[in-house]
Amino acid sequence: MYTQGLDGKAERGVQSSPGASPRLVSAEDLHFQERIDAEEKIEPRDWMPDGYRRTLVRQISQHAHSEIVGMLPEGNWITRAPSLRRKVALLAKVQDEGGHGLYLYSAAETLGVSRDELVGQLLSGKAKYSSIFNYPTPSWADIGAIGWLVDGAAIMNQVPLCRCSYGPYARAMVRVCREESFHQRQGYELMLALATGTAEQKRMAQAALDRWWWPSLMMFGPSDDQSAHSAQNMAWKIKRFSNDELRQRFVDATVPQAEFLGLTIPDPELRFDDQTGHYAFGAIDWTEFNEILKGNGPCNRERIEARRKAWDDGAWVREAAAAHAAKRSRRALKKAG
C-alpha cells in the first residue's frame, strides 16, 4: 500500500513548469517524451532523463519501505487474531506486504540502486514511508479498517500505476493491485462481522472508522494546488490522475460502503451533492499530516525502532550466511581445481 506526495522538491524534467525559464531540450529528451506520449513503456536499459530516474527511485523505494513498515501495525494482531481462519488470513496478508516490498525493491534496483542502500536510507530516517503506518492499531477492528480503508485508498492510487510509463514498476503493480483488492475485500468482510456483531464489536468498528477515516483521506497527498510533483509526473506518465481526483473517487466509493455497515463517517459536512454527482466532504486538517511527516506521529519512533532492531538482531545471521556461502564456493573451487 502506498500514498503519493510524501516529500521533497519537484523534479525538473524536459518540460519546465509554467512560469519557469525555458531550458535547453536535448534530442534525447525530445525522443524520450515522444515515446512517453506514444504510451511506450520505458525499460531499464533505455535512456531516460536523470530527473525521471530520480523520481522513480524515490517513489518506488518509498513504496517498498511503506510495504515493509506497513507489516508492523497489522503484525501487531497476528498472535491475537480471534479465530484460526482470521489468523491465517492476516498472516497471509502481512506476508503479501513483505512480498510487495521484495519485488518493489527489485524494481528499484533496475534503476541502478541496491536494496541495501535503500534499506539503509529507511533505517537512518532519511527515506520516507507512508505516514499512515505511524498510527497505532489498538483494537482488532483496526485490522478491518486498514484493509477496508487504507488498502482501499492504496488501490485508488495504485491501479493507475499499472499503466505507469516505467515498465518494471507498472508490471509489479499489476500483481500488487490484484492482492490489494483481495485484502480490501477481506478487510471489509472483517468490518461487516463486527458491525453486525455484538454491541461491543460494533463499538470497536465505529471507533476504528473514527480513527482511520481522516488519515485515509490524507493518504492521497496534499491538494493539487499544493502538490510539488504533480505537473512533471503527469507529463512523464508516472502519475495519471491528480491527488484530489483520486481522493474524490475514494470518498465516492467508500461512503455507501460505510452506510451498508451501519457505521457513521466522522465528518459532519459530508453530504451527497446532486449537482456534481459526488460526495462533498469537510476540510482536511493538514496540521496533523505535517506533524506526522516531521516524525511526531503516535508511532513514528516505534516503527523505525522495530525495523532497526530486526536489522541489528539479524546482523550475525546475515554475516554467517555470507561466510558460509564463501566457504562453499572455496570448497567447490578446490574440488574443481
DSSP E strands: which ranges in the chain?
A: 271-273, 278-280
Cβ contacts of residue 247 below 8 Å, gap of 6+? 217, 220
For residues 3 to 42, the per-residue mask of contacts with another protein, x marking binding by CB under 8 A and - elsewhere, is ----------------------------------------
Q: How many residues bind another protein (CB under 8 A)?
A: 47
Residue 305: exposure state from Cβ atoms within 10 A (0-12, 13-18, ≥19): exposed
- Told to check if 332 binds another protein by CB under 8 A, we report no
Which of these segments, 6-14, 20-28, 31-39, 83-91, binds another protein (CB under 8 A)?
83-91
Smallest separation, CB 68 to another protein (Å):
7
Under 8 Å between Cβ of 69 and 104: no
Which of these segments, 94-102, 181-189, 206-214, 256-264, binds another protein (CB under 8 A)?
94-102
Q: Which grid coordinates belong to 37?
A: 506520449
Smallest separation, CB 135 to another protein (Å):
16
Nearer to another protein, 282 or 314 (CB): 314
Which of these segments, 47-55, 88-96, 149-157, 232-240, binds another protein (CB under 8 A)?
88-96
Interface residue with another protein among 58, 63, 86, 211 (CB under 8 A) is 86
Under 8 Å between Cβ of 67 and 97: yes
Burial 321-334 (b: 16+ CB within 10 A, else e): eeeeeeeeeeeeee
Site for another protein in 111-140 (CB under 8 A): 140
Under 8 Å between Cβ of 239 and 246: no
Q: Taking the CB of residue 54, how many other CB atoms lie within 10 A of it?
A: 14
Interface residue with another protein among 15, 16, 35, 102 (CB under 8 A) is 102
Nearer to another protein, 96 or 267 (CB): 96
C-alpha pair distances (Å), 25 with each of 15, 18, 41, 87? 8, 15, 21, 56
- Told to check if 207 binds another protein by CB under 8 A, we report no
- Told to check if 83 binds another protein by CB under 8 A, we report yes
Interface residue with another protein among 8, 120, 125, 197 (CB under 8 A) is 197
- Told to check if 335 binds another protein by CB under 8 A, we report no
* 3-class DSSP assignment, residue 74: helix
Q: Which grid coordinates belong to 220?
A: 492521497
**Beta partners for residue 166, in sequence order:** 42
Site for another protein in 234-273 (CB under 8 A): none
Under 8 Å between Cβ of 105 and 64: yes
- The residue among 300, 52, 296 whose CA lies nearest residue 169 is 52
Nearer to another protein, 98 or 125 (CB): 98
Interface residue with another protein among 10, 78, 113, 270 (CB under 8 A) is 78
Interface residue with another protein among 72, 118, 208, 238 (CB under 8 A) is 72
For residues 290 to 319, the per-residue mask of contacts with another protein, x marking binding by CB under 8 A and - elsewhere, is ----------------x--xx--xxxxxxx
What is the rounded distance in angstroms from the CA atom of residue 201 to the CA atom of residue 293? 32
Nearer to another protein, 95 or 329 (CB): 95
Phi-psi region of 296 (alpha: psi -120 to 50; beta: other; left: phi over 0): alpha
For another protein, the binding residues (CB under 8 A) are 68, 71-72, 75, 78-88, 91-92, 94-95, 98-99, 101-102, 105, 140, 193-194, 197-198, 200-201, 306, 309-310, 313-321, 323-325, 327
